[in-house]
Amino acid sequence: MSTSFLSPDDWAAIWLTLELASFTTILLLVLATPLAWWLAHTPSRWRGPIGAVVTLPLVLPPTVIGFYLLITMGPNGPLGQLTHALGLGYLPFTFTGLVVGSLVYSLPFAVQPLQRAFEGLGRRPLEVAATLGASRIDSFFSVALPLARPGFITAAVLTFAHTVGEFGIVLMLGGNIPGKTRVVSVQIYDHVEALEYTQAHWLAGGMVVFAFVVLVALHWLQPRDKNHASPL
């Protein structure tokens, strides 16, 4: 893609989007792993309600989630009062606020692949590790995590791609601040509003190509990982 077709604001939006998606993916893989493990193995009656809460972002409009996060993190919200008391200020209309919103909105895209991967392991690998003297923590890190590698790949790719494509939540929480909260989806919206269709085509076309590559990568990785893991 020639740089002559992209303005400095376009490039700033692209790099900010990639930074947001990277932070969100790394944080969600860390946060979603114990939650997915718990959902995959717990007999608790809370499994259903908590699983439903995790899945909510799949069915709720992004503007609804963004609105309630905006209220929660605002001056009168509990999280906003906490961050203000800690000297962190208020999170709306900041990059940190975008990260928090992205964590909530992309949560099911990280949890569900990991949960399915952990459920697919069964009990036998962990039981074998236990008979060899491994503790639960050792079994988790040395047995469960390596065997669940396809689930981690899927979770990482889907989380990153989903964060790149966010619009409603980032607009509600971050507004449209150049170089600070203006991501690619918002930049495309700005171009369309200004009737700058050529610039919008370059960015939107790039998003289409990116989405296609992600889907092809998922279809290519999953069968190979399954065939590779099947002897185990």
Burial 191-218 (b: 16+ CB within 10 A, else e): beeeeeeebbebbbebbeeeeeebeeee
Q: Output the six-digit token pair for 160.
A: 């990153």
- Determine how many CB atoms are found less than 10 A away from the CB of residue 230: 7
User: How confident is the prediction along the chain (232 residues), in pLDDT tens digits per residue?
Assistant: 344 578 888 999 999 999 999 999 999 999 999 999 999 988 889 999 999 999 999 999 999 999 999 999 999 999 999 999 998 889 999 999 999 999 999 999 999 999 999 988 877 777 677 777 667 777 777 788 888 888 999 999 999 999 998 898 998 888 888 888 999 999 999 999 889 998 899 999 988 998 898 888 877 776 554 444 433 3
The residue among 134, 151, 146 whose CA lies nearest residue 218 is 151
pTM for this predicted structure: 0.84
Say if residues 214 and 157 touch (Cβ distance below 8 Å): yes
The answer to whether residues 140 and 37 touch, using CB atoms and an 8 Å cutoff, is: yes
